[in-house]
């Protein structure tokens, strides 16, 4: 009888410890959610098509710093074998397909992971492990 009671106590302590660890994980997750700036999102609607292009692959982006213009949109079509960056003045021009400027990059790009940050475009050089830093302003 005492052995059964001791085993039950031991099992109960294991369960309490496991629940304690789980509660700490939940509390940590809640704290992260409270710090997350996206928690103000109430709902997500249906997707909106802003533009269609000849190719289904590629990347479009904006400069998060706004140095290249807060409304400027950059587009790189396809994911390899090209070296053209298109610049659109704003969303309306992008929707209408009115290119403000075409930049010819020094090397072809690979992938869709390019990013504009300030006056620079960072992209993966085709068939290489190198990231190219291209000054858009020059």
User: pLDDT, tens digit, for every residue of 82-117?
Assistant: 999 999 999 999 989 999 999 999 999 999 999 999
Helices and strands (H and E) in the chain: how many: 2, 7
Q: Residue 127: is it exposed, middle or buried by C-beta count within 10 angstroms (0-12/13-18/19+)?
A: exposed
DSSP H helices in 48-135: 91-96
With b meaning 16 or more CB within 10 Å and e meaning fewer, what string describes 75-85? bbbbbeebbeb
User: pLDDT, tens digit, for every residue of 45-89?
Assistant: 888 887 888 888 899 999 999 999 999 999 999 988 899 999 999
């Amino acid at each position: 009888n005492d052995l059964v009671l001791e085993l039950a106590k031991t099992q109960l302590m294991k369960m309490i410890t496991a629940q304690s660890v789980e509660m700490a994980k939940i509390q940590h997750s809640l704290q992260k959610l409270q710090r997350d700036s996206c928690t103000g999102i109430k709902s997500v609607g249906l997707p909106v098509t802003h533009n269609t292009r000849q190719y289904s692959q590629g990347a479009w982006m904006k400069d998060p710093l706004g140095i290249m213009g807060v409304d400027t949109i950059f587009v790189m079509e396809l994911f390899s074998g090209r070296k053209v960056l298109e610049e659109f003045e704003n969303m309306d021009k992008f929707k209408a397909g009115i290119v403000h400027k075409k930049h010819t990059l020094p090397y072809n790009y690979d992938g869709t992971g390019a990013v504009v940050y300030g006056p620079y475009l960072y992209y993966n050089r085709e068939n290489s492990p190198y990231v190219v830093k291209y000054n858009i302003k020059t």
